[in-house]
Structure 1
Amino acid sequence: MTIESRLGIDFGRVIQGGARAPGNADTAFLGGSLEQALASPAADGVFDVLPELIALVGGRAWIVSKAGDRVRARTLAWLDHHDFYRRTGLARENVRFCRKRADKALHCAELGITHMIDDRLDVHRALRGIVPHLYLFGPQETVPEWVRHVPSWADARVLSRDIGEGRTPSATRRSR
């Protein structure tokens, strides 16, 4: 029996906001006005690459994000404002939120996520052993061997090959 690939994607600094130094917050989205949050940009290349990945997994893709009520509301408003669902093919109901980063593991286990893109190493530590293919997004100070580093959405195109060929992160690291 073949396991169908299922993609998980973080929101902040992965879909929205783009690359920053590790650990830096998006102050416009988190602390600014709603108008500033809505005007904040998508990560460079997300609308070029993510639709391809979502199509490749047959629409089995979810945003899994840590957020309180205020940031949750801003995230949903941002997705609508940027016409995200139409532009990427992600189903509107495929957005999940949790209060703690480590709780992303609960969502990923429930959804059967096989490939996860997140910019936080602590999230990947929580997902280790639950999600077989982990992708650490954006600029990073440290990248352990057990996770695949994808510095940008252009680099995230490697997921197409990984999903299609069933490669592990360590195998894709060597093929680079």
Structure 2
Amino acid sequence: MDTREPRLGVDFGRVIHGGVSAAGDADTVFLDGSFEEAMASPATEGVYEVLPGLIEAFGGQAWIISKCGDRIRERTLAWLDHHDFYERVGLPRENVRFCRKRPDKAWHCRELGITHMIDDRLDVHRAIREIVPYRYLFGPVPGPDWVRHVRGWADAAEISRDIPAGRRRPATRRSR
């Protein structure tokens, strides 16, 4: 039995931001468009309705863990500010981590004690498989049986049910 304090990790691209269409097409404006287009690009449908409740269920113990280079890191941080993301979902500003390679997310998960991870890439889930007991493959395509498929944020709302009995954090009041 895992006795660690429940901690949530969430990918940024195609999970918090943008998302993938039912046809599997990614929104590339954030990566290839102008800075202004990137800032105007949308959050993934449902993130603002579901993620605040998950962060509360994890007692605020949640982190964005994203793979990117310097240019996209700057855009990501600017997008989070531009969309008032931290306040809207209740995530502390300092709870954002970046790495250059997807498998390096495993290092962050180990250091932070992440117990539940939402990511759209199967290679990330392979890298964290021995570290993170609850893994959620986000998006339209299901994966192998060792990772739970969540099509979108409506499915992700159920993740708090995976917090072991007695480990769920009491809800905290957030200032708006």
TM-score by length of 2: 0.89
Aligned-partner SS, 1:8: strand
* Paired position in structure 2 for 1:14: 15
* Paired position in structure 1 for 2:143: 143
Deviation at 1:23, TM superposition (A): 6.8
Percent identity between the two aligned chains: 71
Aligned-partner SS, 2:63: strand
Matches within 5 A, 1:67-86: 67-86=68-87
Deviation at 1:91, TM superposition (A): 0.4
1:19/1:152 contact within 8 Å kept: no
Deviation at 1:101, TM superposition (A): 0.3
One-letter amino acid matched to 2:80: L
Matches within 5 A, 1:31-110: 31-110=32-111
One-letter amino acid matched to 1:121: L
* Paired position in structure 2 for 1:156: 156
Counting helix residues as a fraction of each chain, which structure ranks higher? 1
Deviation at 1:19, TM superposition (A): 2.4
Deviation at 1:158, TM superposition (A): 1.3
One-letter amino acid matched to 1:118: D
TM-score by length of 1: 0.89
2:8/2:61 contact within 8 Å kept: yes
Aligned-partner SS, 1:136: strand
CA-based RMSD = 1.7
Deviation at 1:26, TM superposition (A): 2.9
Q: Which runs of 5+ in 2 are unaligned?
A: 167-176
**1: CA distance between counterparts of 2:96 and 2:129?**
21
Distance 1:24 1:165, change over 3 A: farther
Deviation at 1:2, TM superposition (A): 4.1
**1: CA distance between counterparts of 2:164 and 2:20?**
27
* Paired position in structure 1 for 2:169: none
Distance 1:53 1:102, change over 3 A: same
Q: Which runs of 5+ in 1 are unaligned?
A: 167-176
